Amino acid sequence: MQWRPSIIRTNCLAIESDIGVILIDTGPSIKSPQKTGTNKFYQNLKLKANRPSPLSRRLATLDIDTDSVKHIVLTHLDLAQTQAIEEFPNATAHVFGSEYIAAMAPATQREKNRYAHLKNLNSHPRWKVHQVQGSQWFGFDAIQIFEELGDHIQLIPLVGHTWGHCGVSIKKGQDNWIFHTGDAFFHQRELRLANPNAPWRIKLARYLATADQDSFFFNQERIRKLIQDKPSQIELQCSRFDPKY
């Protein structure tokens, strides 16, 4: 399997594989970028949101045609991760079961608002919903998404930001991995082992966007320990920022 990561706002990845191009998250769409929901809230807080370039245009610079995208693995179903889904008509969208239920049968008005953008999609994606299978990856539950690819691409449940939020592990060598942790972190300083922190605006946004605060911080700590234990084996990615800088 060849893999070719490309950081695209909202830090998405594109992977060329034997079963076609696989995306990790999609970012906002060309037609209606950042109009609703969380992003509007971010703008109101005057955060410097990284305005994304449309994913399909970025893929074109990598000579990847949108029709060649066969699968989209979603860390979760917030607007920033899902809005461009319909630009990839040949793709199946893969999501963790708890997230699918939270989005398709929202239990509260807050969650109805959070996932309202999914109802506005002009075409409905083909969903494939995944459940925990009993596999493990460095002590985390791990869901092998594609039978053909084994443990090369796995959903790693990291519940907290949303009820079914996941990371995605991508094997890039014999014992080396990219770990895309989605919105498990909002700011570089949250990665610190000692006194993890973030600017107050980020903390407020994070608090308001978090479904389960205890699980969110529990999983942050688990990820920090993993990075500490396996620094040469794990390359961390986050939706909101580049952990290397």
Minimal CB distance residue for Zn ion = 78
Closest separation between CB of residue 53 and Zn ion, Å?
Answer: 19
Cβ-proximal residues to 112 (8 Å cutoff; 6+ apart), any chain:
106
Q: Which residue has the tokens 């990845």?
A: 13
Span from 48-56, 77-85, 143-151, 222-230 in contact with Zn ion (CB under 5 A):
77-85
Binding mask 151-190 toward Zn ion (x if CB under 5 A, else -) reads --------------------------------x-------
Contact 72, 26 (CB under 8 A): yes
Q: Is residue 87 near Zn ion by the rule CB under 5 A?
A: no
Nearer to Zn ion, 149 or 211 (CB): 211
Nearest to 216 by CA among 181, 174, 171: 181
Span from 2-10, 40-48, 53-61, 71-79 in contact with Zn ion (CB under 5 A):
71-79
Nearer to Zn ion, 146 or 185 (CB): 185
Provide the H-helix boundaries in 1-54: 37-44
Tokens of 74: 């979603």
- Distance, CA of 129 to CA of 241 (rounded, Å): 27
Report the interface residues with Zn ion, using CB under 5 A. 78, 183
